[in-house]
Amino acid sequence: MLDPAGAAVTLFALFFVLLVLGTPISVAIGVSSLLLGLAYLPPDVIFFVGAQKMFSGIDSFTLLAIPFFVLAGNIMNKGGIAIRLINLAKLLGGRMPGALAHTNVIANMLFGSISGSSIAAAAAVGGVMAPLQAKEGYDPRFSAAVNIASAPTGILIPPSGPLILFSLVSGGTSISALFMGGYGPGILMGLSVMLVIMIIAHRRGYRSEARTTAGEVLRTFWAAVPSLAMVVVVIGGIAVGAFTATEGAAVAVLYSFGLSLCYRMASWREYLEALKSSAVTSCSILFLIAASGIMSYVMTIAGIPDIIADGILSFNSPITILLIMNISLLIIGFFMDLTPAVLIFTPIFLPIAQQIGMDPVHLGIMMIFNLGVGSMTPPVGSVLFVGCAVAGLRIDQVIRPILPFFLATSLALALVTYVPWFTLALPRFLGLLQP
């Protein structure tokens, strides 16, 4: 039997070796956990318990919200909703230098507030904005960096699959409070990207858009109202308790499908493709959750969370503890996708946060923000890959242009970490948290 420190080293060494060998991350999580579990339990017991943990890990009504929100995002991408949000974003960002880059950021925030997916936002918005920016003389590498850096706002501004996942793993943190707590940090992340754009646009002479007439403003806004109304219906309904997050996700699917039918921009074949894509994505996520159930169990019997918590809590200053947590998560985000990172490290960091008096809602937003920043970095940044693919660029071409945005969003992360007001003010105002 290994001591907790040896078990931690063995588990993560096995995990990363399997990743290097090209093993899918969900399989790597499950296999490395079972191999370590053999050091503590007989083979028949660990495999039996592992199967139980896999099934119990996904036996949750709340988890149904994730495939529904994935499907809603795919329908919106196919059905003409994204282009109306982009037109509204052009209206909002058009008077600033580097207008099309600001439009990209605002569009990602708007699309994220409806789809809840940074990857969907990077694909949908980036696919429309890249040709427009190239036509206006924008550096394609800069355009891609803007799209990649702003797409993670979609996992902070609700609805958000990762926030639902955090709620489940953390033992039932209020989804309504998490959703409302995501608005401030999500907007702050978007503003930090726009600040960098303003500086770069001023240096390079990127111009603003031509002035629009009052009639164009009204037509553009009116065309976007049905899409924006979905936010009010779904998020408002969840916040006031009219329905659960899962029921709200189902409402989002019905709303987006009905709206897409009205726009008549997608064929039935495209709707079938959206269903297929949503099923594949949802199965991948659910299998990750199931495999992570084994890892959480094995880590618990090996005492790994306790030894990590004791090591971090040996620093008496909450400021230092939060700094260590953030640096650890940033490093984790370089090598691990957001979903498995939330599943694996929430049970480790939650007791530490409780020890220093940190609200679980604050912790959840900090973790998702942090891992969202990690999604724009190599070697495992999912948003980075999608953004580069949409722009038709290699990853190495985007690394340097994205560095200023990485620094800006990291400073915004520090504000969210050390100033809880950004996260907790709105949930407390709405009575979702105790003052």
Q: Which two tokens stand for residue 258?
A: 């009905």
Ranking 10-19, 153-162, 333-342, 396-405 by mean pLDDT, the lowest is 333-342
pLDDT in tens, 174-217: 888 999 999 999 999 999 999 999 889 888 877 666 566 667 77
Three-state SS letters, 160-180: CHHHHHHHHHCCCCCHHHHHH
| Predicted pLDDT of residue 424 | 94
Phi-psi region of 42 (alpha: psi -120 to 50; beta: other; left: phi over 0): beta
Q: How far apart are CA 331 and CA 319, in angstroms?
A: 18
Query: What is the Cα gyration radius of the chain?
Result: 22
Long-range contacts, 129-133 (Cβ 8 Å, 24+): 129/86, 129/100, 129/103, 129/104, 130/390, 130/391, 130/392, 132/100, 133/100, 133/101, 133/104
Does the structure show a pLDDT above 90 at 230?
A: no
| Predicted pLDDT of residue 231 | 77
**pTM assigned to the model:** 0.84
Three-state SS letters, 89-155: HHHHHCCCCCHHHHHHHHHHHHHHHHHCCHHHHHHHHHHHHHHHHHHCCCCHHHHHHHHHHHHHHHH
Specify the higher pLDDT residue, 76 or 404. 404
Scanning the structure block, which residue is given the tokens 């659960």? Answer: 244
Burial 310-343 (b: 16+ CB within 10 A, else e): eebeeeeeeeebbeebbebbbebbebbbbbbbbb
pLDDT in tens, 389-432: 888 888 888 889 999 999 999 999 999 999 999 999 999 998 88
Residue ranges covered by each domain of the chain: 4-429
Provide the mean pLDDT of the chain: 84
Q: How far apart are CA 433 and CA 388, in angstroms?
A: 40
Specify the higher pLDDT residue, 113 or 16. 16
Q: Which two tokens stand for residue 406?
A: 């990485």
What band does 122 get if pLDDT is binned at 50, 70 and 90? confident
